[in-house]
Amino acid sequence: MNQYAISTPEGSRDRLFGATRLFRQNERRIRNLLEARGYEEIITPSLEYYDVFVQAGSSIGQEKMYKLTDRNGRLLVLRPDNTTPIARVVTTKLDDEALPLRLYYVQKVHRASSFHRGHSTEVMQAGAELLGAKGMMADLDILTAAFEALAAVKGETFRIELGHAAIYKALISSLDVDAETEETIRSHIENKSYAALGDVLEPFKDREAYQALKAMPTLFGGGEVLEEVARLTDNSEVLRAVEYLRDLIDAITTAGFGENVMIDLGLVQEIDYYTGMMFRGYMGGAGAPVLVGGRYDSLCGKFGRDIPATGFAIDIDALSDSVVLKQEQTAEELVFCGAGYLKLALDYIHVSGKLAELAPCDTLEQAMEIAKRKGYRTLVTFDKNGIQKTEVQA
């Protein structure tokens, strides 16, 4: 048999039974939390024109996009990102809506990769976007929504790592290096490649930014991290960002989330996309982030309307893999009836107050066999003698 007829494409998978229940439970809890915070759902097409992401200057390389053409030969992509299409909608179709806008989504993104290493190419994301608001309170709005979304899912150990795009941008711009060198430095900081970073920075050791850039992979922890970077540089843009982070953390701590926040000034992933604070979220002992977010004030302007924005996206697949939730209760009663008693049986299922299911069989013996095999506690029977309940013996 052809192996491709019985397997899933690389990077995708089937999610079965218990795993699906946990997945949907996570999705519902995040959805309920965001709606309670005033966010309204938006759905964008799975297929977008490739030009949408070119216009946005997407940091997702075209080689990571699944591409196809429409009947007129125009290039399409399977949606590789949720925020860019939302920016397209807001700037082209929501001109009359009063700002700020609170939008959320629960939909898939698709990203191809030549080196999967266990990475998914199809990911269900839940995310929130706050558009048309800037400043400390707007950032706190989206940050606390992210905190509460993770808390709603597990309510145990999670952490948010917080950084600021202006710190790296100000330091690297002072070196006046070419794009290739800048990307090399950024990559070494992101990957915490201390030795390689030191080597590439060696020609700039007489520059004021040298010590701070070299230290960035190690600037991880509590408030002392902000003190350290302020000691290493007197760059005014860096110091403003440090002061902003300090005020942000003070407010977060006052709101009761202080134990869940750490500083990571080596957070430089997709640095061109973000314009202010950036953050990543982790659950339990997971090594990979389940949440990414930050401020991206320049994106909507690329579609013709300058709107400040901030948001986050949760990888529900990664989240579901990293936590073990209490299973929602499964049905405990199996209800058997003949065709003439169907209404009575359905009325019982609807009003009994217990989780009950209709037996999909024609004889009492078949119903009892199903009840034993599937682990129901009670077999409820409707017939000419009324209703009978029988405890199921395993």
Question: Residue-wise pLDDT tens for the chain (394 aa)?
Answer: 777 666 778 777 777 877 788 888 889 999 999 999 999 999 999 999 999 999 998 878 888 999 999 999 999 999 999 999 999 999 999 988 999 999 999 999 999 875 444 568 889 999 999 999 999 999 999 999 999 999 888 656 889 999 999 999 999 999 989 989 999 999 999 888 999 999 999 999 899 999 999 999 999 999 899 999 999 999 999 999 999 999 999 999 999 999 999 999 999 877 788 999 999 999 876 668 999 999 999 999 999 999 999 999 999 988 887 765 555 556 789 999 988 999 999 999 998 777 889 999 999 999 999 999 988 999 999 998 899 999 998 7
Dihedral angle over CA of 130, 291, 283, 166, nearest 10: -90
- CATH number of residue 198's parent domain: 3.30.930.10
Q: Per the annotation, does 81 bind a ligand?
A: yes
Whether residue 373 is found in the same domain as residue 249 = no
Owning domain of residue 343: 333-391
Q: Per the annotation, does 178 bind a ligand?
A: no
Q: Per the annotation, does 125 bind a ligand?
A: yes
In DSSP terms, which residues pair with 391 in a beta bridge? 378
- CATH number of residue 351's parent domain: 3.40.50.800
Nearest to 246 by CA among 146, 164, 135: 164
Whether residue 268 is found in the same domain as residue 365 = no
Whether residue 106 is found in the same domain as residue 183 = no
Q: Per the annotation, does 83 bind a ligand?
A: yes
Whether residue 241 is found in the same domain as residue 303 = no
Whether residue 258 is found in the same domain as residue 131 = no
Whether residue 152 is found in the same domain as residue 12 = yes
Q: Per the annotation, does 20 bind a ligand?
A: no
Cβ(51)–Cβ(263) below 8 Å? no
Whether residue 114 is found in the same domain as residue 187 = no
Cα–Cα dist 189/271, whole Å:
12
Tell me, what's the pLDDT at 22?
Answer: 83
Q: What is the DSSP string of 157-223?
A: -EEEEEEEHHHHHHHHHTTT--HHHHHHHHHHHHTT-HHHHHHHHGGGTTSTTHHHHHHGGG-EEST
What contacts 341, CB < 8 A, 6 or more positions away?
A: 382, 383
Return the residue matching tokens 């002072």. 174
Whether residue 165 is found in the same domain as residue 152 = no
Q: Per the annotation, does 365 bind a ligand?
A: no
Domain count for the chain, please give it. Answer: 3
Choose the final residue of a domain: 328, 350, 382. 328
Tell me, what's the pLDDT at 116?
Answer: 44
Whether residue 152 is found in the same domain as residue 298 = yes
Residue type, 330: T
Whether residue 340 is found in the same domain as residue 245 = no
Q: Per the annotation, does 369 bind a ligand?
A: no
Strand order in the sheet with 386-391: 356-358, 333-337, 378-383, 386-391
Whether residue 146 is found in the same domain as residue 224 = no
Cα–Cα dist 317/20, whole Å:
10
Whether residue 134 is found in the same domain as residue 54 = yes
